[in-house]
Amino acid sequence: MTLPPAVPGPSALPADPRRTEAVDPGHADLDRLGVQALVQVLADDQRAAVEAVRAAAPALARAVEAALPRLADGGRLVYLGAGTSGRLGILDATELTPTFSWPPERALGLIAGGEGAIRQAVEGAEDDPALGEADLRAVGVGPGDVVIAVAASGTTPYVLGAARAARAAGALTVGLANNPGTPLLAACECPVLLDTGPEVISGSTRLKAGTAQKIALNTLSSALMVRLGKVYGNLMVDVRASNSKLAARALHLTRHATGAGEAEARAALDAAGGHVKTALVMLRLDLGAPEAEARLAAAGGHARTALGEGLEEG
């Protein structure tokens, strides 16, 4: 009697054009590896995530350029996804407030299955395009908003329903998918392909596909924040000192940007309500907090412009 192979070969599997669903032929004995070799294989495979984002840099740049006018006019960032992709979107949205003082009401995260799905999978929620459309409409997305739709497969019905509804509402749509030629990329005005290929653990897109999504979202949102004046040089000057860790960071950033002593920098930060960018302008131009705030407001929040240094394009 001939027994079937312990691990089915490619011929035993149905064809699927999505590369993220393919079985990586190089790791059929993954479960036989020792711990050192296993960890090395998993770590090495993550390098493909970085390369996928590097290849997508032009598409990410186009998305940044398209999104900037809407956000500068007060629009919102709305992230949507299911499973790992949804959780990564919520993470990126959440981190914008402590990092860049981005108003939390202008960074929304929608995930198939609602908030409960952040910590526990909600089975079947991602299979309903009408649910995605309903969630999108419930937050009142309109022409001023930027919607970032994320799906490793590029075929998730919930994400597709929401993305199509966002585009119909006039919002700018940015689509991140890990498979070429997928419906999500076709549905969005700014498609971003993160072509990471098969996973070491076949089908587990929380691995390098998820890593590529995390890097791409970091890159996209950070680039937006830089261009919106949330950074001076490479200093995170729109941070507010809301806890002891951030207070120490704010003091360090203020001193680095101005050359001020500790006592002088601390006094400026106190007068500025812990806002580094205001303290920076105060110290560099010898202004009080109200005058510095007014100067920043007139400069659209850009510290370089407020300081009379101007911005360079490049």
What's the pLDDT score for residue 10?
Answer: 52
Average pLDDT over residues 174-185: 97
CA-wise closest residue to 239 among 277, 269, 204: 277
Q: Give the pair of three-digit tokens for residue 103.
A: 């108003």
DSSP 102-164: --GGGEEEEETT-GGGGTS--TTGGG-HHHHHHHHHHTT--TT-EEEEEESSS--HHHHHHHH
Ordered structural domains, the chain, with CATH: 49-227 (3.40.50.10490), 244-306 (1.10.8.1080)
Residue 298, pLDDT > 90, answer yes
Give the model confidence (pLDDT) of 65-86 as tens digits: 999 999 999 999 999 999 999 9
Q: Is the pLDDT of residue 14 over 70?
A: no
CA distances for 187 relative to 3, 9, 151, 167, 184, angstroms: 46, 34, 12, 8, 5
Lowest mean pLDDT among 16-25, 28-37, 43-52, 185-194: 16-25
Our answer to whether residue 126 is catalytic in this structure is: yes
- 281's tokens: 């302008």
For the entire predicted model, the pTM comes to 0.90
Q: Which is catalytic among the residues 21, 65, 95, 293?
A: 95
Q: Which of 21, 126, 133, 293 is catalytic?
A: 126
169 pLDDT higher than 80: yes
**How does residue 312 score in pLDDT terms, banded at 50, 70 and 90?**
low
Name which residue leads in pLDDT, 178 or 313: 178
Please compute the mean of the pLDDT values over residues 121-146 and round it to a whole number: 91
Query: Catalytic annotation on 95?
Result: yes
